[in-house]
Amino acid sequence: MNYETKQDVFDETLSNLKKMDTQIEGEWGYSQLTMGVGKHGDVESTREIAIAEIRDRYASALPDDLPVIPLTVGEYIEEVKAHGKFSIIDPLWRVSDALSTIGESVLGDRSRWVLHHSDDFARAWVLGAWRVEETGEIVKLEAEK
């Protein structure tokens, strides 16, 4: 599973370009890496292949600004989405219903967090990916089937 962000892809590409610049300044005046032979036997196809691979990695990488949510909220999203029958309306409705019935002071920590961070909760739900507040770990749910 790919857990790299778009920034990770960019940073690696930039690092590789810097290495290529160093090689170009070498004794032969060109880069062994960039002058490799592509599948069609020319340098241009090698570059096109490399660019296509970078584009694919970038497209599949996670956004840099993943929502940061507490571990318990992430576990709740995983649990609810695992059943596959609930939409985002269900957990938000439950928090809203509990708020109107018992008041905020009686809400649990998880529900109170969702109440005050509903945008982050919604982004984590929709993306199926987030960063855990306590550890910095990136969590990415498996694609729904």
Report pLDDT digits (tens) over 6-34: 888 888 888 887 776 565 555 444 444 44
Q: Token digits for 116?
A: 């005050």
Q: Which of 140, 137, 144, 142 is nearest to 70 (CA)?
A: 137
Higher pLDDT, 79 or 33: 79
**Is the pLDDT at 111 greater than 70, yes or no?**
yes
Query: How remote is the C-alpha of 106 from its chain's centroid?
Result: 34
What does the alpha-carbon distance between residue 2 and residue 60 come to, in Å, rounded to a whole number? Answer: 8
Q: Token digits for 120?
A: 């982050």
**Is the pLDDT at 102 greater than 80, yes or no?**
no
This prediction's pTM: 0.66
Distances (CA, A) of 11 to 4, 6, 58, 83, 98: 11, 9, 11, 37, 45
pLDDT at 133: 96
pLDDT at 114: 86
Antiparallel, parallel or unpaired: β 129-132 and 138-140: antiparallel
pLDDT at 105: 67
> What is the average pLDDT across 116-131?
93
pLDDT at 142: 82
Average pLDDT, the chain: 79
Region of poorest pLDDT, from 45-49, 62-66, 133-137: 45-49
For residues 121 and 69, the answer to whether their CB atoms sit within 8 Å is: yes
